[in-house]
Amino acid sequence: MGIQINGQNDTIVATDGSMNITSNVTGNVTGNVTGNVTGNLTGDVNAGVITATSSIVVGDKFISSAGVGIGTTTTAGRNAGVGTAVGTLILNTTTSQLEAYGPEGWSSVKNLLSQGIVATGGITNEYEDGGFYYKTHTFTTTGTFDVTESPTDFGSTVDFLAVGGGGGGGGWGPPQDGGGTGGGGAGLLFYKENEPVTVQTYTITIGAGGAGTVGGGIGGNGGDTTILSNTVSGGGGGGYNTSAGRDGGSGGGSAHSSATAGTASGSSGHPGGVDITSPAIGWGNDGGLNGTSPNYGGGGGGGAASAGTAGTPTVAGSGGSGARYSITGVTTHYAGGGGGGLWNTGGTQSSGGVGGGGAGGSSGDNPGFDADVNTGSGGGGSSKISTSNRVAGGSGGSGIVVIRYKIASSQTGTAKATGGRVSFYDGKTIHTFLSSGTFTVPASFNETVEYVVLGGGGGAVKGDVGGGGGAGGYLTGTTPISTPQTITVTVGSGGVQDNNSNAIQGTPGGDSSFGSPITAYGGGGGQRNPASLQPGGSGGGSGYNQPAVAYGLNPSTPAPVIASFPLYTPGTTQGYPGGGQNTSGPGYGSGGGGGAGGAGQSGTPSVGGDGGIGVRIPSTFQNPAQEIGTPGPGGNYFYVGGGGGGSRNDNGTLSSGGYGGGGNGGSNNQEAQDGVAHTGGGGGASETEMTSNRGRGGSGIVIIAYPT
């Protein structure tokens, strides 16, 4: 549509008669005019000067004497812009944020709509459900929930899930000839909605898992979890011999000659489903009873959703089922009971309850399995027939707390990629992979990402005597990503301790990788005489004074042995070698596994060598990962520590796993420890007499970060 100026009265009219601007115009007007112009216009349009006494409206944007309307768009609409000018200002309805475009991209200026609670603590995440955004705080270790703002837009309340530590499974030791033992009961599961909070710091305590008994006895009860003035009790330990299972949040299963199982302090009959508000007492169930001859199947520990199954003459009782909740945005089961153990051979092994319960030991002299950490599940009961071996029950899983509350929109940002567990910290978006998956970036992604890749820890070896497992390899660095793609992420599993007393080495850990070129090698397995050197991300400990090796980036080129091993150098080496064995008695201590921060120590006549120290990962990753790593010097969290070496001396001092998830070494009357999950820590070694599945390496982890 063209326009012309009527010279008689300075009126602008459309040439087709469809528009008439009756205001006075001073100066030149050129080009086409579309839409409505209200008010007087003065000035030279070609010079960029227009004066309006009312307003100028373009779509949902306007300029008037009362203010400026910038209009609205979505994140998708914002990102679809081409050549956005620095200084552009928008209201993003996806994030409810006033946003400005600068040299580094879009930045949030202010949230203009309703705002929920503002708090810090734990591992944070955000998700959308039913038209609302929720922010979550997950606590897997004791910490604080700090509420700094408590507005009433959505009510100053939170929902929370809390689970006490799971009970340990029962264990056998000399001189008894054994029998089936009870599985540990799960910790109490407590879910509550609309709990009021105010601006203050709340202490969150996470209950530890109960210990699986080593030398014969009832499994330990799980520790209590506390949150917002609520105490959530731990699960009951599994029974042993004539001793009944302990009472707890859920009761422990009964054993060989006991007719009584542990009872639950929680309400039974959880109706199942997702996010069901429980009564204040929480959810728990009783343990199962034992069976009779010939295998005296131990009873399973109770779970949050059902009681432990009773054992039979040929089958050990299974752990009760856990309950499922979606408070984190992902449906997950919590608080499964531990399976019972057996006596004699030929019976059927039990299973742990869904939600993380440990399985019972298989027939013969076999320990119970540990429950999954941070599920509040019970450990499995041990199985035993001989009169000499010590057979451990499985340890209960530590508890967990998840807090969530409504926010109108994302408080911290929107992830530009998908994959793993997403959190936000210090201006960075962080993707944490605890298991293998994919990292997918869209066409709009153009970032230099930081990464930490830790291989799985090596398994220790049981023997007279065995070396500790080496820690997984450690890699960190940056890499640019600017094209749409899906990158495969692999998280290495921990190596398994070989439970055969004639084994010569533990299993190495699995490799972890971020795409094909960035690979952190699994830790080397521990060695037993005669030692065969086994390389790894960090070397496993060895016997007979032969230090193991650790490889660098090329597995076919081992790094030098202890005497000349260089400091950790990014891109060159991934860890340190293990220590050697002392050949003199009485303990004949074996070497500790190497860590990513230092070599494993050699054994002494009375004690196995300590595992090599791990490393403190870069500060970018400390907050989202510190709930997984293990505390070390200065309060820092460490990863990829080596496992401690074993000793045959009954009275010797036990070796320590390296800071960073390495398991402690054992002796012939003390249990070794597994490497900590998701740290790449090596497993601790135990001596021949300990019949145990302890000494497994900790799984690895992959963490990726980029600017939010």
- The arithmetic mean of pLDDT across residues 164-175, rounded, is 87
Specify the pLDDT at position 197.
93
Residue 543 pLDDT class (50, 70, 90 cuts) = very low
Residues 6+ apart with CB under 8 A from 688: 462, 463, 464, 465, 501, 648, 668
Residue 399 has pLDDT above 60, yes or no: yes
Residue 579 has pLDDT above 90, yes or no: no
Specify the pLDDT at position 23.
46
- The arithmetic mean of pLDDT across residues 552-573, rounded, is 40
pLDDT tens digits, 108-154: 665 555 567 889 898 888 777 766 778 899 998 899 999 998 876 67
Specify the pLDDT at position 97.
67
pLDDT tens digits, 178-237: 677 999 999 999 998 889 999 999 999 999 999 887 767 899 999 999 999 889 999 999
Residue 171 pLDDT class (50, 70, 90 cuts) = confident
Per the document, the length of the chain is 708
Rg (CA), the chain: 32
Looking at residue 666, its amino acid is: G
- The arithmetic mean of pLDDT across residues 263-281, rounded, is 58
Name residue, tokens 């601007």: 21
Residue 365 has pLDDT above 70, yes or no: yes
Specify the pLDDT at position 525.
84
Specify the pLDDT at position 567.
37
**Phi, psi for residue 82 in degrees, rounded to 5:** -115, 130
- The arithmetic mean of pLDDT across residues 652-660, rounded, is 79
> Can you give the pTM of this predicted structure?
0.64
Specify the pLDDT at position 252.
95
When comparing pLDDT for 304 and 26, which is higher? 304
pLDDT tens digits, 230-254: 899 999 999 988 888 999 999 999 9
Specify the pLDDT at position 633.
62
Q: Count Cβ atoms within 10 A of the Cβ of residue 97 and give its class: 0-12 exposed, 13-18 middle, 19 or more buried.
A: buried
Alpha helices by DSSP H, 37-98: 75-79
Is the Cβ–Cβ distance between 333 and 283 less than 8 Å?
no
Q: Count Cβ atoms within 10 A of the Cβ of residue 182 and give its class: 0-12 exposed, 13-18 middle, 19 or more buried.
A: buried
CB atoms within 10 A of CB 32: 8
Residue 32 pLDDT class (50, 70, 90 cuts) = very low
Residue 177 has pLDDT above 70, yes or no: no
Residue 694 has pLDDT above 50, yes or no: yes
With residues binned 3-state (H G I as helix, E B as strand, rest as coil), the percentages for the chain, rounded to 5, are 5, 30, 70
When comparing pLDDT for 49 and 55, which is higher? 55
What is the rounded CA–CA span in Å between residue 465 and residue 469?
Answer: 13
What is the rounded CA–CA span in Å between residue 548 and residue 682?
Answer: 14
Specify the pLDDT at position 620.
74
Specify the pLDDT at position 550.
44
- The arithmetic mean of pLDDT across residues 396-407, rounded, is 93
Specify the pLDDT at position 139.
92
pLDDT tens digits, 484-525: 999 999 999 998 765 555 566 788 889 999 997 888 888 888
What is the rounded CA–CA span in Å between residue 700 and residue 692?
Answer: 23
When comparing pLDDT for 415 and 38, which is higher? 415
Q: Indicate the average pLDDT of the chain.
A: 77
Specify the pLDDT at position 557.
40
Specify the pLDDT at position 625.
57
Residue 348 has pLDDT above 50, yes or no: yes
Residue 2 has pLDDT above 60, yes or no: no
Which of 150-164, 257-271, 333-347, 358-372 has the lowest average pLDDT?
Answer: 257-271
Residue 601 pLDDT class (50, 70, 90 cuts) = confident
Residue 553 pLDDT class (50, 70, 90 cuts) = very low
pLDDT tens digits, 278-319: 444 578 999 999 888 888 889 999 999 899 999 988 889 999
Percentage of the residues of the chain whose pLDDT score is greater than 90: 26
What is the rounded CA–CA span in Å between residue 668 and residue 586?
Answer: 12
Residue 602 pLDDT class (50, 70, 90 cuts) = confident
Long-range contacts of 686-689 (CB under 8 A, 24+ apart): 686/460, 686/462, 686/466, 686/497, 686/646, 687/462, 687/463, 687/464, 687/465, 687/466, 687/646, 687/647, 687/648, 688/462, 688/463, 688/464, 688/465, 688/501, 688/648, 689/388, 689/389, 689/390
Percentage of the residues of the chain whose pLDDT score is greater than 70: 70
Which of 28-37, 196-205, 308-317, 627-636 has the lowest average pLDDT?
Answer: 28-37
